[in-house]
Amino acid sequence: MRKIIYAVLFFICSSTCLSSCVNRSRFIEANKTIDSLKNENALLIAENEKLLNGEERLVNLYNMNVSKGNYLSAEENYNNLVKYHPESISINQLQKSINDVLNKAQYQRDSIAKIVKDSIRLANIDELGDWRIGEYVNDFDEPTGEHYVYQTMLGKFSNSATAGSDLLVKLIIHRESQSYIRVDTEYDEYTNGTIDGKNYNQRKNNSIKIVCHKTRKVYFNDAQRRALQENGTYNYTGMLPILKQGGNIEFRVRDDYSTVYYYTVQSDYLENALLKAGIETL
């Protein structure tokens, strides 16, 4: 009986070992096949790349794409020619046209980027953040169809009679003409419903400091140029481009009568509001 049990155990062990050896052998063969296919695939990719980026083919593709106005593709053809055939005499031959092609390729790239940006804006047109859209009325309180964009915010003001008192600010953006957009600011001192000051942001005697936290830029007004100067540079800009930078924008404005106003505009989604109000178009 004991011999039979030993025989059975020996058979089981032998079968297991044999099966394990067979499975391992198949595993090794499978790995060899996979490695072989990987090597063959790499060779095919290299060969295909060589065929796709042949010197004559790249030059022909470049000329064809230029003739069809496909400047982005022509730019890619030229870059591949330089990459794969740096000694090619065709590179010098294409120097006469490449600068013009690169400029036009950049224009096409910018146009595509604008289309994408405009599509995103249209998809999110109802997101206005803290901005609101108002409509002008005529003498009979009838809507005129002309809109403006505004934001109201709380701030502080100080003068010879008070320090750190409450301030209600209304910043208004509206179109003066087809080519000019004006930014106005109204100040309600003590938030009592009375407009105590109206500032056009670039009046000659005003002192303005604007801090844009998103871009880490600071601006001061230049009375002679009637523009805003980026601190430490000769870059000048208007109020609207600053507001379009987004994020929190801090204002410190001293008016003609030495009253100082402090307030912060949350300017995200301004472009959506301008578009929806019809002040700007795509």
Mean pLDDT of the 193-201 span: 78
Name the DSSP class of 264: E
Mean pLDDT of the 122-133 span: 91
User: Predicted confidence band at 204 (pLDDT cuts at 50, 70, 90)?
Assistant: low
189 pLDDT above the threshold of 90: yes
Percent share of the chain, pLDDT over 90:
59
Sorted by where each begins, the domain ranges of the chain are 2-122, 132-276
State the average pLDDT for the chain: 85
Q: What is the pLDDT of residues 6-16, one digit of tens each?
A: 444 455 555 55
Output the pLDDT for position 45: 61
CA distance to 24, 72, 101, per residue, from 65 (Å) = 55, 8, 10
Name the DSSP class of 277: T
CA distance to 62, 72, 77, 90, per residue, from 50 (Å) = 17, 21, 14, 17
More confidently predicted of 195 and 177 = 195
User: Predicted confidence band at 4 (pLDDT cuts at 50, 70, 90)?
Assistant: low
Output the pLDDT for position 18: 47
User: Predicted confidence band at 184 (pLDDT cuts at 50, 70, 90)?
Assistant: very high
Percent share of the chain, pLDDT over 70:
83
E runs forming strands in 67-202: 132-137, 143-158, 165-175, 181-189, 197-199
Output the pLDDT for position 120: 80
Q: What is the rounded distance in angstroms from the CA atom of residue 165 to the CA atom of residue 191? A: 9
Mean pLDDT of the 116-133 span: 88
Q: What is the rounded distance in angstroms from the CA atom of residue 249 to the CA atom of residue 240? A: 12
Q: What is the rounded distance in angstroms from the CA atom of residue 144 to the CA atom of residue 147? A: 8
138 pLDDT above the threshold of 60: yes
**Which own/partner contact pairs does 37-40 have at CB distance under 8 Å and 24+ positions apart?**
none
Measured at the CA of 174, the angle between CA 211 and CA 219, to 5 degrees, comes to: 15
CA distance to 207, 236, 282, per residue, from 116 (Å) = 39, 28, 12
266 pLDDT above the threshold of 50: yes
Measured at the CA of 132, the angle between CA 202 and CA 267, to 5 degrees, comes to: 55
More confidently predicted of 14 and 265 = 265
